[in-house]
């Protein structure tokens, strides 16, 4: 997966943001995408609460959390009007996009990422590469470690902001 640039999101409408969001515009940050449906029990009980915790715990200048409402069943019940009420009632504060309808029942971004269903949690590194595509329940410890690892990676050719040459001692110098 590391050599695959993440496909751009194909979003019909955004909530909890006043501008359209692109993955290209988020380069330099780790991106966490939580793909969900309102009527998916695993999404409501695990996926969305986990995404909200990630959004609250990690600094927003390093980690961006995006919800992707990717409806492949019960289309008539899961409209943007229903989604807006759902986001308010569940107090979800991260940006949420509505995946564009595709051919048949599968939305376009869901197809592009070859998701197996919902909930799905996607991780994209700071350079825009797809690094993980988890289907179903993911442990907080596992995903926290994966995000922290990606957030700590140095972008090739860019020195860490916090690197100080005085960190060197007789044993050596840590890499930036």
| C-beta of residue 53 within 8 angstroms of C-beta of residue 140 | yes
Q: What is the spatial distance between Cα 50 and Cα 173, in angstroms, rounded to a whole number?
A: 37
Q: What is the spatial distance between Cα 105 and Cα 107, in angstroms, rounded to a whole number?
A: 7
The CA radius of gyration of the chain, in Å to the nearest whole number, is 18
Residue 35's pLDDT band (cuts 50, 70, 90): very high
* Domain ranges (residues) in the chain: 11-167
Residue 132's pLDDT band (cuts 50, 70, 90): very high
Q: What is the spatial distance between Cα 43 and Cα 37, in angstroms, rounded to a whole number?
A: 7
pTM: 0.84
Look at the domain 11-167 and name its fold.
Glutaredoxin (3.40.30)
Residue 13, pLDDT above cutoff 60: yes
106-to-23, 37, 39, 70, 109 alpha-carbon distances in Å: 21, 12, 16, 8, 9
Question: Which range, of 9-18, 65-74, 140-149, averages the lowest pLDDT?
Answer: 65-74
Query: CB count, 10 Å around CB of 123?
Result: 23
What string of H, E and C letters represents the secondary structure of the chain?
Answer: CCCCECCCCCEEEEECCCCCCCCHHHCCCEEEEEEECCCCHHHHHHHHHHHHHHHHHCCCCCEEEEEEECCCCCCCCCCHHHHHHHHHHCCCCCCEEEECCCCCCCCHHHHHCCCCCCCEEEEECCCCEEEEEEECCCCHHHHHHHHHHHHHCCCCCCCCCCCCHHHCECCECCCC
- The residue among 79 and 127 whose pLDDT is bigger is 127
What average pLDDT does this structure show over 43-47? 96
What average pLDDT does this structure show over 18-22? 95
């Amino acid at each position: 997966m590391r050599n695959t640039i993440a496909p751009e999101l194909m979003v019909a409408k955004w909530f909890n943001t006043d501008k359209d969001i692109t993955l290209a515009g988020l380069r330099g940050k780790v991106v966490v995408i939580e793909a969900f449906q309102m009527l998916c029990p695993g999404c409501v009980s695990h996926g969305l609460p986990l995404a909200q915790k990630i959004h609250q715990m990690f600094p927003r200048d390093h980690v961006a959390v995006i919800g992707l409402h990717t409806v492949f069943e019960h289309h008539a019940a899961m409209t943007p009007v229903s989604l807006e009420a759902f986001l308010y009632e569940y107090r979800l504060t991260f940006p949420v996009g509505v995946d564009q309808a595709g051919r048949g029942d599968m939305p376009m971004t869901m197809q592009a990422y070859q998701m197996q269903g919902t909930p799905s949690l996607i991780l994209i590194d700071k350079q825009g590469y797809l690094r993980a595509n988890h289907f179903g329940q993911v442990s907080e410890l596992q995903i926290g470690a994966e995000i922290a690892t990606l957030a700590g990676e140095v972008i090739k050719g860019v020195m860490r902001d916090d690197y100080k040459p005085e960190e060197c001692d007789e044993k050596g110098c840590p890499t930036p």
